[in-house]
Structure 1
Amino acid sequence: MSSPNTPSPNQTADTPSGQTATKPGTSSRRPLLPWVAGPAWFLAALVTWRWPDADDFPDTNQLATQFCAIGLALTVAAVLRRLSARAPWAIALGLGFTAWEIIQAKLLWLPRPFFGTPQDLLDVFLTDWRRLGDSLLHSLGLLAVGYGIGAALGVAIGVGLGRSLRFRYWVRPLIRLIGPLPPVALLPLAFIIIPSSRLASEALLALAAGFPTTILTWSGVVAVDPAYYDVARTMGARNRFLVLRVALPAAMPQIFVGLFMGLGVSFATLVVAEMLGVKSGLGFYMQWAQGWAAYPNMYAALLVMSLMCTGLVTLLFKLRDRVLSWQKDGLKW
């Protein structure tokens, strides 16, 4: 029987009774971070509004208003206790914009027009949002068709390679000959053979997405335990059932790896195709901005492209998590 003064297993020897011991590695200042996020953006607003600009930059007052609105939203989130996990990033971004504003808009330490100001970036989104939005839609449309066709063909060819010896005999040499080629290396040939630059770009995107998807699907199908097929055959399953209900579900983890790899290669192919062939899209917009030395427009297009790529990868991860819900410890994005 333990005495009243004996520490319980949940208490340390120097912790008074009735108080909760702090876990090792846990900072007692962490709850204060959400309350610092709002003031960090208020500081950015104050610097933008009160410190005179080094040149006549557009939309300074609008930028200060935006910073102030973000700071107010973060303060409300802190009051509602919705900012604990994202508070450090919110603080870092607020201080980062403050430093950017001081270095470039107030002191002009970096050469213009190569390095813009936050005001320049905001002015692009306020004045050229229609062209940016149209470029984004064209890029999404081109990527959806090319990547979708490449992914579907990659899965189908990979299943054929894994299930049919005759199909593998004829198709494998072609895969080994054409697949490893960088899709952008075939860009001039594609524009000669295919009369439409858009169709040529879609074909290259399909090749970019199809090769890794084919290889990983093939690997996943070959790795399926033959006992699964034997059990299904004893129950009267036909070849179609073996493919759709045995091979594909078992190979799905490798298939998604191929889809992720194909998506990354498709992003690079998309930008090059739009810069050199297709007269629309974010890649074409970036080339146009660089030609006119409109570097803020180029940076805005880069930001939009980054958000597009991140959003598409996130959607693919959501799909993978839904299909492979049994993989609890899988890679997260």
Structure 2
Amino acid sequence: MSSITAEAVGQPVSASRLDARDAQSESIALKNGSAGASAAPYEAGSAKVARVMPYPIVVAFSVVGFVIAAIVNVVFPQIAPVQFKQGQIWIFLLNGQEAYLFLLAALVVLYVIIGAVDARDPVAAGRYRYRAQFRFAMGLLLALWDVTGTKLQVLPQPFFPGPAQVLEPFVTDGNYIALNTFYSVRLFAAGFVSGVVLGVVTGVLIGWFARAYYWVFPLLKITGVIPAVAWMPFALTLMPTPFIAAVFLLLICSWFPVAFLTAQGIQSTPKMLVEASRTLGAHTPYILFHVAIPNAMPSIFTGIGMANSLSFLTLVISEMMGQPGGLGYYIDQAKAWSAYNEILAAIVVMAILFSLIMKLVELIRGRVLRWQKGLVK
């Protein structure tokens, strides 16, 4: 008799039990994809959002902010005296104002396509749904920036130009920006990769071998806390070219965090694993490469992430103080002419470039540490 529910025998069911049953049914429906997407990993209460806002409306809501920004740009009168220069992109002749409208249209088309593709996967659709509000707010922010920075210029000028003015250097000076971007990428790759490789080797040595720890770790503690830019006068004087001097500075600033955290990861290898490996007949090289280094991989990638940020900061400073090219050099030139729209254009390129590098590091980390997925969340 205990297995028969109150509903089956005609007894009244409490409201709390009905709510619990409805929540359970709704959860099952979301798992089966009947609500259009499963956004459970991304926000609490996503089931309620899925019920009140169908997925096509989510896609429209995601891009309507950019549509509003385009309408504001076209309808709102240009009161401030702003003149835009015309340039060529591929076969198109554009000015900054037209490039801004083209960018907004491209964002609308891009996010609609992404929404249509993500609709096939419940997890991707949930991720798209979660980011819809941010995209809408970003479009409204662009509209507000356009009105205050370009149309009315109520912001202090020339320090805060509008989005169309920031895009103008890409139209009129795009090739020069591309050349300086390539110089920065080449310099960053040479210094950062060298520093990471040297840092991993140094960390493994001082983390595994006691004699290396005795001699090298004090040097690491002393030189690692000194900012890399402090070595710039010596680097520019002793190195044969400014490029090699900047590579040396990037190597120094990325070497310390990678070496330090690699050593900590090696030293944190459980003694039980090492003893078990020795009991099974493993030699020291095998234990080092198959037990200690895999155990240190999370720490190594944490150090690489820290080194990435420090290296990018050092890159910009070194380019502003002695390099014949690069985004930092471009900013220094623009500062001399008070061309703050060019400075902001270079900052936009830096933000995109740094985000892409961080994304690449995350992809490599996810590939190498795929065994770690699910341990934390």
TM-score by length of 1: 0.88
Q: Distance in 1 between matches of 2:17 and 2:188?
A: 56
| Equivalent in the alignment of 2:19 | 12
Q: Aligned residue for 1:201?
A: 246
* Rounded Cα–Cα distance in structure 2 between residues aligned with 1:111 and 1:195: 44
The 5-angstrom pairing of residues 173-184 of structure 1 reads 173-184=218-229
Question: What is residue 337 of structure 2 aligned with on the other side?
Answer: 292
Moved more, 124-133 or 79-88: 79-88
- Residue range with higher mean Cα deviation, 29-38 or 252-261: 29-38
Deviation sequence 1:21-69 (CA, Å, 0-9, x none):
9996734544444323433322222221232212233233443344345
Distance 2:260 2:220 in 1: 9
Q: Pick from 70, 75, 95: which aligns with 1:45?
A: 70
User: Which runs of 5 or more residues in structure 2 are unaligned?
Assistant: 31-43, 85-94, 120-124
RMSD: 3.0
Return the offset for 1:316: 0.8
Structure-2 residue corresponding to 1:120: 165
Shift of 1:281: 0.9
Q: Structure 1 unaligned runs (5+)?
A: none
Structure 1 residue 317: Cα displacement: 1.1
Is the contact between residue 99 and residue 171 of structure 2 (CA under 8 Å) also seen in structure 1?
no
Counterparts of 2:353 and 2:108, CA distance in 1: 26
Pick one of 22, 31, 34 that aligns with 2:59: 34
1:136 alignment partner in structure 2 = 181
Per-residue CA distance 1:109-140 (angstroms, 9 max, x = gap): 02322111222122111122211111111111
Q: Cα 1:250–1:67, aligned 2, differ >3 Å: closer, same or farther?
A: closer
Match of 1:146 among 177, 182, 191: 191
1:67 aligns with 2:104: yes
Q: Distance in 1 between matches of 2:106 and 2:354?
A: 27
CA drift of 1:262 comes to: 1.2
Give 1:157-168 correspondences, 5 Å limit. 157-168=202-213
What percent identity do the matched residue pairs reach?
A: 31
Name the SS for the 1:279 alignment partner: coil
Distance change (3 Å), C-alpha of 1:133 and 1:165 = same
In the alignment, residue 147 of structure 1 is paired with which amino acid?
Answer: F
Q: How many residues align?
A: 330
Q: SS of 1:84's equivalent?
A: helix
- Aligned-pair CA distance for 1:236: 3.7
| Distance in 2 (alpha carbons) for counterparts of 1:324 and 1:148 | 20
CA contact (8 A) 1:275 1:283 kept: yes
Contact 1:40–1:71 (Cα < 8 Å) also in 2: no
- Rounded to whole Å, the distance in 1 between the matches of 2:99 and 2:254 is 42
Please list the CA deviations of residues 123-169 of structure 1 after superposition, one character each: whole Å capped at 9, or x if unmatched: 11112221111111111111111111111111111111122222222
Q: Distance in 2 between matches of 1:236 and 1:13?
A: 56
TM-score for both structures, normalised by structure 2: 0.78
- Structure 1 residue 271 corresponds to structure 2 residue 296: no
Of 225, 228, 253 in structure 1, the residue corresponding to residue 298 of structure 2 is 253
